[in-house]
Structure 1
């Protein structure tokens, strides 16, 4: 098969798209503005601690994971999460409560009151919404305010760094929205949906296995880039995309401006960057992309001696409801999830600060962040003394928020793609923010391209 494609952005979405196109015979050029690939998916080992710049793990929600991992020779480096990582905790009234995973555990749990539990059980008796809802409106209507405050609110802060009062349930949680639309309720929909996923060989995010690699999630984008070889051009800052007989991509590399042409261009940058790239092609689409909000997040990694930690980190970690009035969003217990995340005799925790809930917190100085997180962990996990290891990273624009109105932005993208055949958008603001979502979006875009050549 002959053909040429330009992919702008070497994050996991762009690299996977390029990989799938090259595997099917296309000549691919990947332009990456930074000096290394991966976007937010980078890993680094420091003093025997493994730190992640972005996602700490992935859920095996699509068979494409195994296909790519086996093809790249990474199977021996793949590491599944410890069984104890299924245990997740939520802070309520200053105490950590295990999130129940079975019906009998639900009734015994002290995370919710009996009144709150009864409200959840009444879920099948509530009808459909008549208009687009925020996640908070959806959950209050179907499951009650207490479930929103002490389950969904902390979950959204942990996954999206977002606010359920702003996120669109249809855009941010399409599977949840579909349960109501298709089956009329969440409980009956969950049961029937599980049977349908089994037929499609898909895994729900609840049952899918969590994994990483021996040297962290950055292993995957590095291996994809190695497969692509000289097709990946680093330090290539794309200035704009123009339309002639073909698409013309202008970029700066090594202090000189270059242009390349192609009938196929895949834009795999964050929305705020994509907005600038398409400004000459469509001012209206550029404006729509600018509407996607990315809140700031700070990530603070601490290493402690095991004996410093009063509460055993037996599980995935904990999340904090907004009602608890804390200064952190939650903490991952990295060394309890995967092996070799910390030296022998030590533990590694990753704490997240900021997000939509408290954006100003992510912008505090390193010293302030260390003090804040240290004090919170002393109180919540009964930690004694100060951390032996500290590492901090920040994202001024971290995770795209699928807020109310997001579906209209997606419609604008699709309309633009239809009116300008050959240009495609593939990034985590479209189709989901999880690593598995990015792979499935890349597969969808690659298949579209291949079907038209």
Structure 2
């Protein structure tokens, strides 16, 4: 069921079946983080449109938007009073360029360096000591290419069979854009070499490779001038009432930040539509 709407905004009703957590304690889903989007998709049912590619946004004289989509069934147009763009900044910049060049220019300034996530499994006999904790981050000055490693099977149960350790490592980033040009085998080699220097015993065998995911454009960087760009975007959007941006370049890239921002944008959309309805009744 939908959470009830309170006067002060959207209320979140806690599920009594979800285990209680302590502040700062990590949590996940038994089936991994994919459980969240799958649950949202199940709630949305046929309102969720898959493989619809937004190609253009037009503004009408009625202060609505025409969203033009390329779909498996051909071109589709949807008219809406509000639009929420959750796309990366470079995609939003392309869509908004005809409507608000100033906003588009600010969005184009966000940088997205390449990052790879490499999930490897090692026999516990090859791990140098018992890994208890979250993982390890590596300062750039250490001469090690990998950015950090999450000790996945130490954090959560059932992430590795008995006798094995699963490690999720991240490599690349703003100072190592070359990662985006390497193939999966080369990236695994780089990560294994670094893990051999930090977490593994001498002579450790080659790992089982569980996953290698490379994002050519990964996490947006909050570089110098970030708040100036956000201010330019905010000012520009004043000429596009009903248009909202809701993505991780706005204010925090973590999952919790994205959830919080989603509820905030939902409340803004609700208030805008309520105000529009009130204005139409008073005319």
TM-score range, shorter chain: 0.7 to 0.9
Counterpart CA distance in 1 for 2:13 and 2:262 is: 12
Shift of 1:23: 6.6
1:420 maps to: 240
Secondary structure, counterpart of 1:287 in structure 2? helix
Counterpart CA distance in 2 for 1:433 and 1:354 is: 17
Shift of 1:418: 2.2
> 1:353/1:69 Cα in 2 relative to 1: closer, same or farther (>3 Å)?
farther
Shift of 1:382: 2.5
1:296 maps to: 114
> 1:226/1:249 Cα in 2 relative to 1: closer, same or farther (>3 Å)?
same
1:409 maps to: 229
Counterpart CA distance in 2 for 1:260 and 1:414 is: 25
Counterpart CA distance in 2 for 1:266 and 1:424 is: 5
Secondary structure, counterpart of 1:211 in structure 2? coil
Counterpart CA distance in 2 for 1:429 and 1:417 is: 16
Q: 1:257 aligns with which of 72, 75, 78?
A: 75
2:12 maps to: 67
Flag structure 1 segments of 5+ consecutive residues without an equivalent: 1-18, 25-63, 81-202
Is the 2:103–2:237 Cα contact (8 Å) retained in structure 1? no
> 1:301/1:433 Cα in 2 relative to 1: closer, same or farther (>3 Å)?
same
Is the 1:424–1:445 Cα contact (8 Å) retained in structure 2? yes
Counterpart CA distance in 1 for 2:107 and 2:26 is: 32
1:5 maps to: none
Deviations 1:9-52 (A, max 9, x none): xxxxxxxxxx98x976xxxxxxxxxxxxxxxxxxxxxxxxxxxx
Q: 1:307 aligns with which of 111, 120, 125?
A: 125
Structure with more relative contact order (C-alpha pairs < 8 Å, separation 6 or more)? 1
Counterpart CA distance in 2 for 1:79 and 1:297 is: 33
Is the 1:79–1:213 Cα contact (8 Å) retained in structure 2? no
CA RMSD, 1 decimal = 2.3
- Matched residue pairs, number? 265
Counterpart CA distance in 1 for 2:125 and 2:189 is: 20
> 1:254/1:429 Cα in 2 relative to 1: closer, same or farther (>3 Å)?
same
After TM superposition, the score normalised by the length of structure 2 is 0.87
Shift of 1:394: 0.5
Secondary structure, counterpart of 2:238 in structure 1? helix
Counterpart CA distance in 2 for 1:448 and 1:380 is: 47
Secondary structure, counterpart of 2:159 in structure 1? coil
Give matches, 1:100-111, under 5 Å: none
- More deviation in 443-452 or 235-244? 443-452
2:249 maps to: 429
1:444 maps to: 264
Secondary structure, counterpart of 1:280 in structure 2? coil
2:33 maps to: 217
> 1:420/1:404 Cα in 2 relative to 1: closer, same or farther (>3 Å)?
same
Is the 1:79–1:211 Cα contact (8 Å) retained in structure 2? no
Flag structure 2 segments of 5+ consecutive residues without an equivalent: 275-283
Counterpart CA distance in 1 for 2:176 and 2:262 is: 32
Counterpart CA distance in 1 for 2:193 and 2:240 is: 54
Shift of 1:386: 1.1
Is the 1:248–1:262 Cα contact (8 Å) retained in structure 2? yes
2:136 maps to: 318
Query: Which structure dedicates a bigger proportion of its chain to helix?
Result: 1
